[in-house]
């Protein structure tokens, strides 16, 4: 029987595996590296801007949504590539849909930044 971890042990293991996943995505995907770099530059910029706290939160959240979506897109692509490296209509469609989610998150981030800063 498998015993599940509980309490602080579960949280520590979950954190370890989450950081492991982030590190793997960072190493294998240029888009993740670019988005992390953008986060490292733009988040400090939000503290230099004359915006309200709520606007600052929205600016940062819009950037984090892009990274979250990119990580999910990367997971879909890795899983699809594991299932088959052949060209397949449904696998192609799954990858395109995940990519579309990234595009929409980037559009949302752009819209948020333009709306607040204009």
Residues annotated as catalytic are: 70
Taking phi over 0 as left and psi of -120 to 50 as alpha, with beta for the rest, 105 belongs to: alpha
Q: What is the largest CA-CA distance in the chain?
A: 59
Instruction: Give the C-alpha separation, 4 to 57, whole Å.
Output: 36
* Helix ranges, the chain (H): 7-28, 30-46, 53-83, 89-117
């Amino acid at each position: 029987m498998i015993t599940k971890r509980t309490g602080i042990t579960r949280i520590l293991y979950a954190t370890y595996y989450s950081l492991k996943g982030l590190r793997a995505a960072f190493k294998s995907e240029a888009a993740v590296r670019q988005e992390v770099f953008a986060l490292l530059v733009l988040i400090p910029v939000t503290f230099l801007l004359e915006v309200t706290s709520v606007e600052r939160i929205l600016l940062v959240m819009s950037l984090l949504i892009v990274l979250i979506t990119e990580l999910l897109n990367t997971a879909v692509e890795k899983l699809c590539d594991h299932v088959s490296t052949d060209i397949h209509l449904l696998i192609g469609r799954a990858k395109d849909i995940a990519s579309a989610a990234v595009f929409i998150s980037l559009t949302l981030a752009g819209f948020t930044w333009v709306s607040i800063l204009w």
